[in-house]
Amino acid sequence: MTALATRHTASPAPLKGVRVLTLALNLPGPAAVMRLRDMGAQCTKLEPIAPASMSTADPMGVYKPSAYEEMHRGLKVMQADLKSERGQAALHKQLAKTDVLLTSFRPSALVKLGLAWRELHQRFPTLCVVSIVGAPGERAEEAGHDLTYQADSGLLNGLEMPASLYADMGGSLFTTEAVLQALLLRQRPGRSQGKGVFHQVALSDASTYLALPRAWGLTLPSGDVGGAHADRKSVV
């Protein structure tokens, strides 16, 4: 049985009844939603309106349709222009029945679309928001890609392409974890019980985390996992 087939076998659904709305395009957000769906969440995606010649405006659906289809299986996919009144109405109709919103816009774009956390929290106090950015803090406005963050964290090896998009996929796992954290915090007894929670996930942080074994020296040529342990055994 392949790994892909194994992932779709019957398993507990801890997120059954949880409603997720995603606006995230490309890879990290959809990959995270794929996992949330497998945990039983009811997932809906609101995409930009696609050009007449295409079925989706998500770049992944254009250059790798098979990956897009795998990540969006079982999702309800809608389209709307969030810069229009009609699109905003469609968005807010969905938000009114959503537990967790996923975004992958820069902070300035969220403000322009009326999706800044303070504004959303006032209008939808029980809504949790997970915002995916490239890097934390002021760098959240910078354009960046998976290779950018892998290079920053020392995961790239010369001019060779990496075996996977580690920052994007690691970011998807960080996003899934952030959703679980937000839902748990919303349930925690106390003054803020039932209130929505905001989390920001940075792809650069995910890449840095995946690179920790190298930062610790474990995978360097002089490290135990990098071959030095075998060399020491041969000397002994």
**pLDDT tens column, 106-128:** 999 999 999 999 999 999 999 99
Nearest Cα residue to 178 out of 103, 96, 111, 75: 103
166 neighbors 210 (Cβ within 8 angstroms): yes
**If you write DSSP's letter for every residue of 136-200 in order, what string do you get?**
SGGGGGS---HHHHHHHHT--BTTBPPSS-HHHHHHHHHHHHHHHHHHHHHHSSSTTTT---EEE
On the question of pLDDT at 3 being above 70, the answer is no
Q: Give 11's pLDDT tier (boundaries 50, 70, 90).
A: low
pLDDT at 221: 74
pLDDT at 88: 97
Q: Give 193's pLDDT tier (boundaries 50, 70, 90).
A: confident
Judged by DSSP in three states, 209 sits in helix
pLDDT at 233: 52
Sign of the dihedral defined by the CA atoms of residues 227, 229, 232, 233, in that order: negative
Looking at residues 5-31, what average pLDDT do you find? 85
More confident residue, 206 or 218: 206
State percent of the chain over pLDDT 70. Answer: 89
On the question of pLDDT at 8 being above 80, the answer is no
183 neighbors 18 (Cβ within 8 angstroms): yes
Q: Which stretch of 47-56, 59-68, 188-197 has the lowest confidence by average pLDDT?
A: 188-197
Looking at residues 130-144, what average pLDDT do you find? 93
The per-residue pLDDT of the chain, averaged, comes to 90
